[in-house]
A and B are shown apart, each in its own frame.
Chain A
C-alpha cells in the first residue's frame, strides 16, 4: 500500500516534469501559473492549515519576493539567484518584524490584521522610488518557459517535502498543538511565539520564492499585480478546497481548480469568476474539511457524508 502510493506519486511527478517536452506552449504557460499558485497554497498550508492562523496577508510575501528579484535585477544588475535570495530575506524580515505583534491576535482579528497589512504594503510600495513607484519595474526578458516550468515544479516539490517533514517533526506537532489548543500547547512547553513566527516566516519564504519566479517569468511587475489581494483569497480557497493541514490536499486543490478555472475562462471570462465563487460556497457547505477528507470518508459513508456535514454546522 505504502510503496504503491509512493510509486504513484513518483509517476505523477515524472509526467508533470515531462510536460515541457510533449505539451504545447499554452499548456506549459498554464502549468507555470498552476504550479506557482500550488506553491502559494502549500505555503499558506503551513501557517493556515497546520498552525491554524488564517493569514490573509501571504500576498505580501509574494509581492516582496517579486520586488526582491525585480529590484536586484533591474536596479542593481544582480543575477536572478541573488534576487531570489534578496526576496526571501525581505520576506523573512517582514515575517519576524510584523509577525511577532500580529500573531498575538486570534481568529477574525488575525485574519483582518493581515488583510490590512496587505492593503498597506500596496500603498507603501507605490510610493517607494527604488521599486519604481506605481509604474512598476520591467525585468530583462528570458524566453525559456521550460526552465521556469521546471523551477516552479521543483519549488512545489520542495514545499511539499517541507510539509511532509512537518507531519513527522517536533516542529510540526508543535504547530498542530497550537492549532488545536494554544494555551494547552504553551502549558506543554511549546514556545508558541517562536513556533508561530517560524511558521509564518516559512510560509512567507515559499510565497516569496513563487513571487520571484513569477516576476522574472512575466518580466513586468507593478504594486497592483505584485500585492494583489485576490491572490491571497485564491491560495486560501485552493488550500481549503483540497484539504488544509494535509500534505497533498493543497496541491490537488490548486491544480484541479486552476484547470477548471482555465477551461471556463477560455469559454466565457465572467463565468469563470462566477464559478469560482459558487465552488467556494458549495465546498464550504458540503465538504468543509476539503477534498482529502471527502475522498477518505466518502468511501465508507457515501452520500451521507454531505448530509452529515450540513447537519453538524447548520442551526
Chain B
C-alpha cells in the first residue's frame, strides 16, 4: 500500500511536469495549426539555458526560470517571424516536415555547442526530501510540480482574461474575423509561438532539475507532449493537466506492475486508442 501511494505520488509529480511540457505544444497547435515537431528540441534548449545559468552564474534553477523563459521567448519569436511564417498557410504535411527539419538542426547545433555529455542541474537541495507519513516527497520534484501547476493555471487565466490572450483565442477561432478587429496576425502568431517556446524552455529547466539532459532528449519529449495534448484535448489549457497526470500515473503504474520497458507501450498504446475512439481528446468536444 505504501509502495502504491509512493508510486502515485511519483506519477503525479511526473504528470505535472508533463503537463507544462505539453502546454506550449498544445497552444501552438491550437492557434497556428502547426504541430511543432521541434517542440522537444526547444525543451532541450531551455534545459541547457537553465544549466548554463546555474553552472556559470549560480542562479538557482527555479529562480532563474524567468530568464530562461525570456531567452526562449525571443528565440521562438524570431523562429516564427523568420522561418515558420513562410509556410503558415502551406498544407499540414509541409508544416510537419519543416518543424522536423528544425528539430534536426537544433539537435545537431546543440550537439556541436554543448557536446553529447549528460548534464544535470543539481542545486544544493537536490537530494533533500520531505517525509510525509508513509511517502517521501523529493523537494526538487515537489517544486517542479508546484511551478508546473502555477504555469498551467496562469496560462489559462492569461488566455481568458488578458487582451493578448483574448486576441490569441480569437485568432485560433477565426483568423479573418480577428484581423478585421485589428489583430496583426504576423505579430500575434509570433507572440503565440514565442509564448509556446518560452513554456517549453521553462519545462526544460524543470526537467533538468529532475532528470539528466543531453542534446537528444527532444524527440521522445515531443512524442509525449503530443500524447498529452491529444488525451487532454486542445480546447482548454487545463486539459493538459489532466492529460499529463494521466500519463504520469499510467507510466509509473506500468513500470511498477508490468515492467519499466512497457511504460512507453502503455503511453503510446493509450494514445492510439484515444485517437481512434475520441479524436478530439478525452476531454475535447465529441467529433
Query: Which residues from chain A sit less than 8 Å from chain B, CB to CB?
Result: 48, 54, 101-102, 104-105, 107-109, 111-113, 115-117, 119-120, 122-124, 126-127, 134, 229, 233, 236-237, 240, 270-271, 273-274, 276-281, 284-285, 288, 310, 312-315
Pairs A-B, 7 closest by C-beta atoms = A277-B104, A280-B101, A277-B105, A281-B101, A313-B90, A116-B268, A274-B108
Q: Which residues of A contact B27 (CB under 8 A)?
A: none
Give B92's nearest chain A residue, CB to CB: A107
Question: Considering the chains assembled together, what is the distance between the CA atoms of A17 and B230 in angstroms?
Answer: 48
Query: Closest CB of chain A to B226's CB: distance in Å?
Result: 5
Whether B276 contacts A108 by the Cβ 8 Å rule is: no
Question: Considering the chains assembled together, what is the distance between the CA atoms of A310 and B92 in angstroms?
Answer: 16
Number of A-B contacts (CB under 8 A): 140
Q: Which residues of A contact B87 (CB under 8 A)?
A: 284-285, 288, 313-314
Whether B88 contacts A113 by the Cβ 8 Å rule is: no
Is B35 an interface residue, CB under 8 A from the partner?
yes
Q: Which of B29, B88, B101, B230 contacts A277, CB < 8 Å? A: B101
Render B148-191 as a binary contact track against A, CB cut-off 8 A, 1 for contact.
Answer: 00000000000000000000000000000000000001100100
Whether B102 contacts A101 by the Cβ 8 Å rule is: no
| Contact A119-B108, Cβ < 8 Å, known A284-B90, A285-B87, A315-B189 | no
Whether B272 contacts A315 by the Cβ 8 Å rule is: no
Query: Closest CB of chain B to A225's CB: distance in Å?
Result: 16
Q: Which residues of B contact A271 (CB under 8 A)?
A: 108
Q: Which residues of A contact B271 (CB under 8 A)?
A: 112-113, 116
Q: How many residues on the B side are at the interface (Cβ–Cβ under 8 A)? A: 48
Q: Which residues of A contact B227 (CB under 8 A)?
A: 116
Is B96 an interface residue, CB under 8 A from the partner?
yes
Supply 6 further A-B pairs (C-beta < 8 A) apart from A116-B272, A285-B87. A111-B96, A112-B35, A119-B264, A237-B97, A277-B102, A284-B94
Render B207-238 as a binary contact track against A, CB cut-off 8 A, 1 for contact.
Answer: 00000000000010001001100100000000
Whether B111 contacts A120 by the Cβ 8 Å rule is: no
Whether A277 contacts B265 by the Cβ 8 Å rule is: no
> 18 A–B contact pairs at CB < 8 A?
A54-B96, A105-B276, A108-B92, A113-B275, A113-B276, A116-B226, A119-B264, A123-B265, A124-B265, A240-B97, A274-B112, A277-B108, A278-B101, A284-B87, A284-B90, A284-B101, A288-B90, A313-B90
Query: Which residues from chain B sit less than 8 Å from chain A, CB to CB?
Result: 29, 35, 83, 85-94, 96-98, 100-109, 111-112, 185-186, 189, 219, 223, 226-227, 230, 259, 261-262, 264-265, 268-269, 271-272, 275-276, 279
Interface centre among B93, B261, B276 (most CB of A within 10 A): B93
Whether A123 contacts B261 by the Cβ 8 Å rule is: yes
Query: Closest CB of chain B to A144's CB: distance in Å?
Result: 35
Q: Which residues of B contact A122 (CB under 8 A)?
A: 264
Whether B226 contacts A277 by the Cβ 8 Å rule is: no
Q: Which residues of B contact A113 (CB under 8 A)?
A: 271-272, 275-276
Whether A315 contacts B268 by the Cβ 8 Å rule is: no
Query: Closest CB of chain A to B78's CB: distance in Å?
Result: 14
Interface centre among A104, A124, A233 (most CB of B within 10 A): A233
Whether B98 contacts A280 by the Cβ 8 Å rule is: yes
Query: Closest CB of chain A to B104's CB: distance in Å?
Result: 3
Q: Which residues of A contact B92 (CB under 8 A)?
A: 54, 107-108
Query: Closest CB of chain A to B75's CB: distance in Å?
Result: 16
Whether B261 contacts A127 by the Cβ 8 Å rule is: yes
Q: Which residues of B contact A315 (CB under 8 A)?
A: 85, 88-89, 185-186, 189
Whether A120 contacts B272 by the Cβ 8 Å rule is: yes
Question: Considering the chains assembled together, what is the distance between the CA atoms of A281 and B90 in angstroms?
Answer: 13
Question: Considering the chains assembled together, what is the distance between the CA atoms of A115 and B40 in angstroms?
Answer: 15
Interface centre among A237, A279, A281, A288 (most CB of B within 10 A): A281
Question: Considering the chains assembled together, what is the distance between the CA atoms of A101 and B259 in angstroms?
Answer: 28
Question: Considering the chains assembled together, what is the distance between the CA atoms of A112 and B271 in angstroms?
Answer: 9
Q: Which residues of B contact A124 (CB under 8 A)?
A: 265
| Contact A313-B98, Cβ < 8 Å, known A273-B104, A274-B109 | no
